[in-house]
Amino acid sequence: MKKDESLELSIQEQMYIYTKNYSKMFPKVVIIFGSLLILSLCIFQNMNINNLLTDPSSKYLMLYAGTIAAISGTAIAWFAHKGKSEQSQLRTIMKKYTNDSYFLAMGLTSHKNDKNIINDFYDMCLEVFPELKQADKESLKETGKTLELEDLTLELEDGDYTFTVGDISNKKFIIKYFEKTPVNYEQLNEYLQITWDEYGGNNIFRLICLAKNFDSNILKKYTKLMESKNIPLDLILVTDNGFSGLKISDFLN
């Protein structure tokens, strides 16, 4: 694994994480303002007109509720109009960062032999995914060890299925190396379904499939395959000396 110094996030990686966290704020802010709007409407509904005439404090309460309602309504309208566009731009930036980092890292990475392919690829991923490097750094600070990848074997009725899994941001970072090739559509779809059943789509940070050869039919059905479960799915070719990106997912989880 990498040493502590190499786990320091670069300025670009820090900006990526900041951008991603900023993007996640939009729905939370809408929920907050929506709750305030509902609270204000409840206050209006429970107000008694007679109390407004006899109790001066009720007028201030009405003014307060009206102000909150106006601010909340305006904020929700702005986020509905502008927020969607902002989120789209932020996601475009994050996708471009991931793709650029992926292809740059793959161009600079070699693997030693079949036994170390997953470890070599994981070390490369530290340079691709800032969230992974951050999780590695936090694990080192808390436990004295970098993030551990574990081989998980699921024993199902139709056979055993093995993955290499790591935890990142409370989600699963999954690497599957297909030693038997070529990998066809049915195999890939089967593994996608198994990981979905085991973890759920929203709990998978990324599913990366490594193989020395993928059937050409997979490329035609890749979009359908990925969108059916909304899981970020990367198909990576293992070459004689390194790795090559066949398909890199645009979906961010």
- Write the pLDDT tens digit of every residue in 153-181: 887 766 777 888 888 878 899 999 998 88
Share of the chain above pLDDT 90, in %: 16
The SS3 call for residue 165 is: strand
- Topology, domain 113-247: Trna Endonuclease; Chain: A, domain 1 (3.40.1350)
The full set of domain ranges for the chain reads 11-100, 113-247
d(CA 177, CA 114): 10
* Angle (deg, nearest 10), helices 117-125 and 84-108: 130
Q: How far is CA 192 from CA 75, 85, 126, 134, in A?
A: 40, 31, 23, 26
What's the whole-model pTM score?
0.74
Nearest to 175 by CA among 163, 160, 186: 163
- Write the pLDDT tens digit of every residue in 102-142: 999 998 888 876 678 888 899 899 889 988 888 888 888 88
Three-state SS string over 85-143 comes to HHHHHHHHHHHHHHHHHHHHHHHHCECCCHHHHHHHHHHHHCCCCHHHHHHHHHHHHHH
CB 210 within 8 Å of CB 177:
yes
Nearest 10 degrees: CA dihedral of 26, 32, 37, 40? -160
- Write the pLDDT tens digit of every residue in 7-54: 677 877 877 777 777 677 666 777 777 777 777 777 666 665 555 555
> How many CB atoms sit inside 10 A of residue 50's CB?
9
Q: For residue 134, give both structure tokens.
A: 């951050």
Least confident of 13-27, 39-53, 188-202, 210-224: 39-53
Which pLDDT belongs to residue 1?
42
d(CA 190, CA 206): 16
4 DSSP β-pair partners: none
Q: Is the pLDDT of residue 221 over 60?
A: yes
Q: For residue 253, give both structure tokens.
A: 């989880």
